[in-house]
Amino acid sequence: MPELVFFSGTMDCGKSTLALQIAHNRSARGLQGLIFTRDDRAGEGKLSSRLGLVTDAVEAVPGMDLYAYVVDRVSHGGRVDYVIVDEAQFLAPVQIDQLARVVDDLGMDVFAFGITTDFRTKLFPGSRRLIELADRIETLQVEAMCWCGARATHNARTVDGEMVVEGEQVVVGDVSSPAAEVGYEVLCRRHHQRRMTSASAGAGALSPDVLPVASD
């Protein structure tokens, strides 16, 4: 039976790499897929991984009817055996509904990849709808690591190296350069709550992280 599968995880856990691997494996078996993406680091209409792999994709712009796009592709003689969607957290909830319809009405597997929560630890609307509708949710097993060595579970946004918890939900930045004007970094819950990034941790090395004690 065809499925809507949501592969979730933090930044840096290999979501795009897995998306490319699924596309490669199915292509090697003679299947043809349609790849959607949104705001990829490599630019519009690209699906790329941090390992340097990249392929062409369809940019899922706001307001685009993904179900209608697939139907139009097939109606004009194109072959679509499955659909891959990267950066699915950026999609509108109605676009997630359209992906579910691709599964139910067209009988195609849809593999969606995305981050569940934003830098404020709030669910992205697209991810929330995927959690509500997906036949299966897979948490990626490649664990991103916080600067302290613990498992990273939260995404942090930095502005000039300082962590922020307010602002627009979607702002393009560079996860590989968290000290840039706008950057992103993955942290464990403990250091996300303390707003302690790798940069501020270096500055805080002179102040040992100790338990609070009451004064006499």
Catalytically active residues, by annotation = 87
Do 14 and 142 contact (CB within 8 A), yes or no? Answer: yes
Distant-in-sequence, close-in-space partners of 159: CB < 8 Å, separation ≥ 6: 181, 182, 183
Report d(CA 192, CA 67) in Å as an integer. 38
**DSSP conformation class of 42:** T
Report d(CA 93, CA 85) in Å as an integer. 14
Task: Note every long-range contact of 71-77, with CB atoms under 8 Å and residues 24 or more positions apart, other chains counting.
Answer: 71/106, 73/34, 74/106
For the four alpha carbons of 182, 183, 189 and 190, in that order, the dihedral sign comes to: negative
How far, CA to CA in Å, does 181 sit from each of 90, 143, 160, 169?
22, 26, 4, 16
Burial label, 159 (beta-carbon count in 10 A; 0-12, 13-18, 19+): middle
